[in-house]
Structure formats: C-alpha cells, structure tokens
Structure 1
Amino acid sequence: MKIYKHPEQEAWAELLKRPEIDSTSLFETVRVVLDEIKQGGDSAVIKYEAKFDKVQLQSLAVSEREIIEAEQKVEPALKEAICLAKSNIEKFHQAQRFEGKKVETTPGVTCWQKAVAIEKVGLYIPGGTAPLFSTVLMLAIPARIAGCAEIVLCTPPNQEGCIHPAILYAAKVAGVSKIFKAGGIQAIGAMAYGTESIPKVYKIFGPGNQYVTAAKQLVGLREVAIDMPAGPSEVEVLADETANPRFVAADLLSQAEHGVDSQAVLITTSSELLNEVLSEVEKQLNELPRKEIAAQSLKNSKLILVKNMDEAIAMTNEYAPEHLIIEAANYMQLADRVVNAGSVFLGHLTPESAGDYASGTNHTLPTNGYAKAYSGVSLDSFIRKITFQEITPQGIEAIGPAIEIMAANEALDAHKNAVTIRLSELK
C-alpha cells in the first residue's frame, strides 16, 4: 500500500485516481459478439458459452429439477443466513414504496404521479472467482417488491454445465421468474435482444468484468436501459485515533479480496493509527485464502494522513467512494457532512460486509466516482413514475392565457391553438 502524508489539495485529483481500465479497446470484440447474438439467438449464445466458459450446453434454461436438486445441496446454516438477509433486504426496500400525492397547482389544475414497475428486468450474476448469491438477493428482491412481471436471471455455468447451488437457491427464495446458463457478453446480448429461450428485457442490472461492462454500455446506447456505470469495487475508511487498527485493516482487506483491480483507501488524522493499520494489513493478509488477489489489489490502495477532519471530509467528498466506513468518535456529525458516497457505514462495529450481505441495504452501488451523480440500486431502480394531470374549466381559464403567450413566444402556434380553441368553447 502506498502512504501519503499531508498531500496538498492541488494533488488530490491525481492521488485519488482509481486503477484505470480502458474498456474502449474492448468494444470491437464486444460488438462482434453482440451482433452474433442478435442474429443467431440461442445457437450463438451456446457457441460463445463453449468458447468463453468452456462448457458444451444442450439447453440454456435451468430446469425445475435443477433448482430442487440445488436446494438440497445448500447446507442448512447457509439457507438460514440467506433467509435472514432476505428478510432484512425486504424490510428495507418495502419501506421505499412511493406514495404519490395529488397536488392542485392552481384551482382546477390537479397533477400527480403514479409508480409503475418495469415489466421485464434482467439480472446478471457473475460466476468468476466467487458465487455472488448475495447479488441475486440484492437485485431480485426489490424487483419483486416493485412488481416487475418478469425477472430474468443469467449467470455462467461451470464446465459441467451446472450453476452454483447457492445462486439457484437464492434465486428461488427471492422470486426470480426464469434462470438461464449464460455468462459475459453473450448473457448481456441475449437479455438486450432476446433469443428463442431468453426473453428480451427492458432494463439490465448487475456487476461484471470489463467485458460485461463494455457490453452493457453498448446495448445501453440503443436497445435497453442499464442500472448504472460500473467499475472495480472500492472502499474508503475514514478514521481518527479512536479507531481499532485491526478493524480498519480487516475492512480494507475485505474490499481488496474482491478483485485485483479493487481499491481500498484509508484517510486518517492519526499517524499512529496509519502505521498500526499498515502492520495489521500485512499480518491479516497472510491468513487469507484469496491472498494473491488481495495482494494485487493492495498495490492500488492508499493510506493517507491528513491534518484534520475538515480536510478528511473534503477529500472524502472529492473521492466519492462506493463504500465509506466512518470509524471515528463523532461519526454521526461527520456523516452529516458526507455528500458524495454510495453507502455509508457508521461506527466501529459496522463493517462494509454488513451491507454486502445482511443489514438490508443494497450493495449494488456506483463506483469510480459516479457516486457524485448516481444512487445505488433501490426500489426506485425498478419502477417508472408516470405523471398525470386533469384540468377543469376553471383550471384552463386560469392557466390558458399564460400557455398561449408562452407558446406564441416560442413560435409554436399549434400549441397555442390547442388552448385557444378550448377557451373559445367555454365562452
């Protein structure tokens, strides 16, 4: 990990850069695969499953029998954990239900909104170095609560053509409609265009590698909506001298083990804590099964010493982390000053892992500084808001003249006439 002490503000932008992955160079490869999926449907998906996932598939759909068999393979303790997480995620997202109110903007003019679920959504669950069954819960549960009629899930199988049992079990308890064996670019293309087996959806959710990210960007230009821009995962720990260095090191490493391009950042006002965390990271790293991945990630990671908490908060808001853990004595006051972050974890006993799995908040969050403009996935991600308005004779007489004047001044005479003829009927 790299150490920086009292960096000047002019150097922050360079200091806070993420590991750069230029996905534009992948676009041509991705575009070729997407075009084949669009033209060839299931046969093209099966072809690329053989090429990229090294599996020969006869069918893309997961059968009911496979789901039943998977449930039997999941150990009871994991089932209980998944069901606990499911319950908390449901509670948190159910509380986000939209309640539209009718507003009379002028006597006789009433306006309101109605929340309507996106009818068909696609969920992509990576199958790379870890089975992300938690992401199934994070995406499928709010989709079901929102009322999405069709929830389609794609995830790559292993070389025997099987999907990890925990992913299938999570999909069942979360309410997924259909599950398919498809990964990477071909999965994104299948959900964007539709194939003989895989339905076309209206919006695609879920993380993935740089090829998946590039595929989502390309299909998002024209074919389908996507959840948000995505990049490697990241965490920032904001800490003072009261923080436990063992906790801080564990939090940094929990992010580092995600992937070699993940980033972990400590911003602290305590020189002593910084040194203790560095020592503790080295100690804990050697005990991790995913040590090699975490070690690569730590090369992108930084320990930053700042003069005071004012500077720490300013740097945090500039970085706009996906995950922010505040391990400081006055964490609630500091939290009030955070304006750019995906999800915030408060106090010494609130690890980022809680949000990843079971506290109830959603772990699908904006990365790469996009927290300055994007929210994480929520119930709103799966709905649209349609506006309605109703105007009575009193209402059109009240606002009609203003509409006529505004339309005339924009040289849109047909707009003006739509009001004028109505007003003339009322005389």
Structure 2
Amino acid sequence: MTARVVLAGSLDTKGEEYGFVRDRLAGAGFESMVLDTGVLGEPRIPADIDREAVAKAAGADLAVLAQAADRGEAMVAMARGAALTIRHLYDGGEVSAVAVLGGSNAGFVMAQIAAALPIGVPKLLVSTIVAGDTRPYVGTSDLTMMYPVVDIAGLNSVSIPVLSRATDALAGMLSGAPIPASAHTGATVACTMFGVTTTCVTAVHDELAADGDEVHPFHANGTGGRTLEAMIGSGLFDAVADITTTELADELCGGVCSAGPDRLTAAARAGVPQVVSLGALDMVNFGSPDTVPEKYRDRILYPHNPAVTLMRTDADECAELGRIIAGKLNGSTGFVEVIAPARGFSQISVEGGPFFDPEADAALIRSLQDNLDPHIPLRVIDAAINDPEFSSAIIDALGRALGHTEGSNA
C-alpha cells in the first residue's frame, strides 16, 4: 500500500492549517489527499475529495445542508460521509493513515472515521478537545491525540511547531517497520483486569499463553469494558474470561468507571463462550476524595491514589449486583459459567484488608444462587480471587468453555 494520508476537515475554517500539514508531509516524502467536510464557507485550499462528494457518500445533498444552516445536522452528515469515503479508500488500498485538525466538530468527525477503520491504522487528532473528557471521541478506537495549546485558528509561533511535530509523528508511524503478525496457534481469549485482580489475570494469561493461546486483557476502567463489548461483537474472540466485572458496580452506584448498561451483554447475545467472575465488585471508583458524592461520605472509603478514591460496596448493593449479573447471563445463547471467590473479590477485600466484608461478599453470592438460571453453573471457590486455587478454577472453566463440554446451553 502507498503510504498515503487522508487529511479530513473543514477547509473553510482550517484550510491554511491543512495546507501546512499537507506540504510538510510532502516534504517528508508522503502523499496525502485532502478531504473537505466544510459546508457553509468557501474552501481556502483545493480539496482532492470535495464536500459535494462527501455529502453524497452520506446520502445527503450539500446544497440542502447549506440552506438549512443547521451546523449540527451538517456535521452529522459530513462526518458520516467522511467515514464511509475513507473506509472505501482504505479497502481499496489507497489510504494508510488519517489526520484531523480542529475543535469539537473535528473531534466528532474523527470519532466517526476512527470507528470505521481497523486497529493499527494510524489515526491522529490534533484538537483543543483532547484537554477534556476524550471518551466520546476515542470510543473503542486506537486514536492518537495531541493538544495544540492554542486553538487551530491560523499559523503562529505556537501552532507552527505543534502542527510540525504532529505531522512528524504521523510520518514516524508510517515509517516504522512492518507490524509483526501474532505467532499464536491456539484460541483467542479476552479477559478483564484491574490492578487489584492483576495476580489472578496474570496467572490465567501465562497458563493460556503457554498453551499457544492469545490473551487480550482489557482494563476494566469503563472504556475498557465498552471496548471489550464492541470487540466481542466483531467475532474476534473464541472465549471471554470476564474475571473483573467491577464496572457493573460503578454503573449501579454512579462511579467513574461505568461501562454503561450494555456491559456483560455482548457474549451472551452472540453466543461466545464466557467464564464470568466477580473481580473488584467490592468497590466503586470515584476521583479525588472531594468528588465522592455527599450521600457516600460516611461509607468505607479507601484512597487508591490521590486521584482515585474507592468505596466499598455494601450488602444491599452486592445483592443487587448479583441480580444484575444473573439477569444479563440468563439469556445467554452459548456456554457460560460463573466462578465466585468466597474469600475476597479483590486484593484489598481479603481478611485483614481495608475492604474485608464477608457478609457483603456472601450477599452477592447468595443473590447469584437465587437468581441465576439453574442451567448456569455457579462454582464457589473457597479462596480469594488472587489465590492460585482460584486462577486454576478459571483456567479449568476456560478449558470447558473452549471445549464446550459443560456449561449452560453448551
């Protein structure tokens, strides 16, 4: 494939900046195509893919969009057209990277483009929005972001070096050696982890890798869970070891690591074999201590670090989490087992730890016993989640999952 970069953005407001990046890429020996997502003003530089073509790709009429003068509606259409156009070019071997410059509209456009391209294709966003909450823009993509310090509104002594280094970073990604292929010969398994369940996940990872399986760990921080659910739906994984379901607690209690209401649904819906555990359901994540909601200030709180405060889930919340998990798993169309650690759901809820609360843990396990479909095995292991006996139980269950020898609906 020719190392060709698509520069996608509004040429009526950012034409000078896109021209600068285009010319710097050319100086480094890289071809580029400029795609125009603007609607209202006149483009300041010529486009290789004009705005009329972008609107048409989205099934829209540029003149109608311009006449309506609805910036939001126009951005939705042009972002969709840009994503479809660039994916079509990629499938034809004509695109190897994409860059977008600007503000929140640029971020929205890049979010649609990034979601349409495979992992590993360089995607660079230079935007003022990356100084804030970037989750809506990253989604589940491998997006690279750079903060421009000043707004993308002309070339000056600040924007020139920033755009220069952004362009150089893109050129560097394109100049690297070919990406090596994975050497695994066995199954592909997704798993979920948190710092307080790392020992368990590492043991499972090492055992599977020794057998030639490839393990994809996802950090259960909200974004990780959403990414996992999206990738399960793509058919990439042969099985899921959902060891760390902590995001469900954040969704229930309003923590900062919620993965949304669809967490723990993709494998059940798609029939992908899954082994589910209760990792870190003893906790809800908040930011610094002053961000903990007032209604929780009298609860058991633990400073994980200055920027993360953990709250222990109580017995009532744990019972509700059991009902939630059962409700999500009971409709599974494929293999599923639940493996529960009776002596602690995380590193800090074992005996002597700050979140040690056997009554709350037992409430969750009882709730699962009461609410899980009888055909779904619930195996309660007399160990803490990071004990060797527990990781062995997970590995045994994965063996059954991959062999489809036992388990609900296997």
TM over 0.5: no
**Bigger relative contact order (CA 8 A; separation at least 6):** 1
Query: Would you tell me which structure has more helix in proportion to its own residues?
Result: 1
TM-score of the pair, normalised by structure 1: 0.29
